[in-house]
Structure 1
Amino acid sequence: MGRLFLHINASLDGYVNDADGEIDWHFADDEFQRYLDDLLDDIDGMVFGRVAFEELAGYWPTAGADASPVQVSRMHELPKYVLSRTLRHTAWHNSHVLGDDPGAALTEIKRQSRRDLALFAGGRAASAAVGLGVVDEYRIVVNPVLLGGGTRLFDGTYPRTELRLTGTREFTSGALIVTYEPATAAA
């Protein structure tokens, strides 16, 4: 059975985009690109919020030579699942809208998966997934920047969840991935 991990970039002060909605402050050096190549090779599928899905669906099918060949291939091949109340159909290869009961759909997808699934989402979709109780692990990419405003990493309604640190990874850029899982998962 696969697990669902949230993989999301955040500023040190806890924002996933700046006050203008931009994410141009995310770092993306060669070391991090290799990390992403490996991550995409190790998962069975990806989950997106609608906004992230539509942005990525506009980029990856026609990504140019400057994009990682591994990422281009995996973004095409891997199943893509969308958390959305408004989207009904998708045109991007191997993509699926989770429907009216996304919690049940994700639970079933995890049950059928051999490897983990990655949730690449913005703040609203991340908070929604946490509220559904389907996130098994949190991988927060802490970028070395203070934004002073924007969309909060978690800004929604979800139950209090005690977490335990299960790993860290530092990049030469100064970014840090901190990995947590619910403390109850260890019990």
Structure 2
Amino acid sequence: MQPLFLHTNVSLDGFICDTAGHIDWHFSDEEFQQYLDGLLESIDGMVFGRVAYEQLAAYWPTAGDEVSIVQRSRMRELPKYVLSRTLTAADWYNTHLLGEEPLTEIRRLTMQPGRGIAVFAGGSAATSLLEAELLAEVRLVLNPILIGGGTRLFAGSYPISTWRLTSNRPFASGATVLTYERRTR
């Protein structure tokens, strides 16, 4: 089995994007970029919600020297799975639309051998995966900023679950990656 984990930027006040839908407020530095290189090299696939997919598909195929060679290569080559019932086509290389039963398809993917699948999704997709109890781990990139409004990380209903902090990694930028593992019942 390969674990499914959420990896997302979050502000101190619990938002993953601002009121305009932008994510350009997150903190980064060279060490964090190296961390992202390692993360992308350690996974076998990525999951996106429709909105996140559309935003990333508009950027990554033409990304230039502002990102590392590892990031450009891995964002292109890794399988990309999109949780969407409305998208009918995807042009970004190695993209797979999960169709009418996306959670069933995600569950099937996690049953295959592998190193892990990262979820780079918006709040709605992350909440649906949490509700379905498919997330084994949550990696929050906590950014030292209050943005005052936007999209919450988890919105809606989901079952109560407990999580154990397994690591924290601070960066010079002030961002900290907090890794939580789902506790088994």
TM-score class, shorter-chain normalisation, is over 0.9
Matches within 5 A, 1:86-101: 86-101=86-101
- Return the alpha-carbon distance in structure 2 between the equivalents of residues 87 and 158 of structure 1: 25
Q: Secondary structure of 2:100's match?
A: coil
Q: Distance in 2 between matches of 1:69 and 1:113?
A: 27
SS at match of 2:111: helix
Off by >2 Å, runs of 4+ in structure 1? none
The farther-off stretch of 3-12 and 109-118 is 109-118
Q: Unaligned stretches of 5+ in structure 1?
A: none
Q: Which residue of 2 aligns with 1:23?
A: 23
Report the AA paired with residue 159 of structure 1: P
Checking the alignment, whether the CA contact within 8 Å between 2:76 and 2:94 is kept in structure 1 is: yes
Q: Does 1:43 align with 2:29?
A: no
Separation in 2, partners of 1:90, 1:113: 26
Cα distance between partner residues in 2 of 1:77 and 1:20: 30
Q: State the identity as a percent.
A: 57
User: What TM-score does the superposition give when structure 1 sets the normalisation length?
Assistant: 0.95
1:131-182: per-residue Cα shift (whole Å, max 9, x none)? 1221110000100001121111111121111111111111111111111111
CA distance in structure 1 between the aligned counterparts of 2:179 and 2:172, rounded to whole angstroms:
18
2:7 matched residue in structure 1: 7
Supply the distance in 1 between the matched residues of 2:20 and 2:74 (Cα, whole angstroms).
30
Instruction: Tell me how large the CA RMSD over aligned residues is.
Output: 1.1
Q: 1:44, 1:113 within 8 Å by CA — same for their partners in 2?
A: no
CA distance in 2, matches of 1:26, 1:113: 33
User: Contact 2:28–2:175 at 8 Å: present in 1 too?
Assistant: no
Matched with 2:34 is 34
What residue ranges of structure 2 are gaps of 5+ in the alignment? none
Q: Secondary structure at the match of 1:92?
A: coil
2:172 maps to which residue? 172
Number of residue pairs aligned between Structure 1 and Structure 2 = 185
Whether contact under 8 Å (2:10, 2:153) holds in the other structure is: yes
Indicate conservation of the 8 Å contact 1:89/1:96, yes or no.
no
User: What is the match of residue 70 of structure 2?
Assistant: 70
Cα deviation code 1:34-53 (max 9, x no counterpart):
00000000000000011111
TM-score normalised over the length of structure 2: 0.96
Offset, 1:28: 2.1
